[in-house]
Amino acid sequence: MILMKNSPKGLQYIALLSAFVLHACILVSRDVIAAPTYESEFRTLWLAHNGLEFPASESGLEDCKSANYQPCLDVVKRVQAAKKQLLAVSSQQGLSATLAAIHKYCLPDAENDAMAVCEGAISGLYFYASTNEDREIIDTVKAADKHLAQKLFARHYEWLYNRKLISEWQALVEQTALSEAKKDLVKERLSSKAVEKFGLMLVD
């Protein structure tokens, strides 16, 4: 049955539809309808560093392929799918989600699941390497608690090798509570290229 817009039922339908649209707008304005957090994707990216079957190097990946070793190929495929999902949105939305996950999960007392999201998100910074993106990342880290910089520099991450603001990152390393040996190592990584591809570099 077609409702005439001036009929009582038609006017009631229009009023209900308008109320629904208004309610949806209010929810969005209050962030009740939230943007995707990609926590599952970050957990999967974590496998690039911690998955038992994920290859440690480019030569290891070639060995997996030549031997058709399915456990290795499967975990690489999972990481590739997570990367694709994260990069399917705008770079600004993806970077915002990545930084939000780092803020939320990279806590001093984070437990296993939280650390998986944290470290996966830190690894994911590798996908955001333009000058503007690097500026947003480093400004966010500078404004955060000091422990966050320690988390970022704690492990051998891919993102260390594709920064644009290298001198600023090196200055931040100097201000971070790390051993002198660790500081020298991180600064060296920031100013050089990886000797061999590893981690998320293998799913480029």
150: nearest Cα among 186, 178, 109: 178
Task: Give the Cα separation of 99 and 87 in Å (integer).
Answer: 14
pLDDT value for 129: 97
User: Could you tell me the pTM of the whole model?
Assistant: 0.81
| 27 within 8 A of 33, measured Cβ to Cβ | yes
DSSP 162: S
State pLDDT tens for residues 125-148: 999 999 999 999 999 999 999 999
Question: What is the spatial distance between Cα 139 and Cα 11, in angstroms, rounded to a whole number?
Answer: 52
pLDDT score for 9: 57
pLDDT at 20 over 90: no
Q: pLDDT, tens digit, for every residue of 63-103?
A: 999 999 999 999 999 999 999 999 999 999 999 999 999 99
CA distance 79 to 200: 8
> Average pLDDT for residues 35-62, to the nearest whole number?
95
